Amino acid sequence: MGPIWAPDMSAIYFRNESGDTVYAAPFANGEAEQPRALFSGHFLEDWPWGRNYDLGPDGRFLLMTKSGTILDAREIRVVLNWAGAITANKARVP
């Protein structure tokens, strides 16, 4: 379910049919290796329009939403220039 290639095309990540385990299948010399389980848990199912998880540019997972998570948001906070705020905070750390 919801397969996605690593940014460097070295592996493909996917979930099993029940959606409770995420696997990685490394690729070497154009051949797929045996998939290995990365982690298991109770996660939300993929959405009809695509998967509900993604990888960052460095190949690390960014987000998987656990099932049972309250999705009834009553407030949304939008942070503008968040990269600048992070940079500014790093400058203050001794």
Q: DSSP for 35-62, please give it.
A: PEEEEE--BPPPBTTB-S-EE-TTS-EE
Phi, psi torsion values for 93, nearest 5 degrees: -75, 130
What would the pLDDT profile of 29-52 be if each residue is shown by its tens digit? 888 899 999 888 877 666 666 677
Specify the number of domains making up the chain.
1
The pLDDT assigned to 26 comes to 93
- Is the pTM higher than 0.75? The answer reads no
What would the pLDDT profile of 8-29 be if each residue is shown by its tens digit? 889 999 888 887 888 999 998 8
Identify the domain containing residue 36 by its residue range: 4-92
As to burial, measured by CB atoms within 10 angstroms (0-12 exposed, 13-18 middle, 19+ buried), residue 2 is: middle
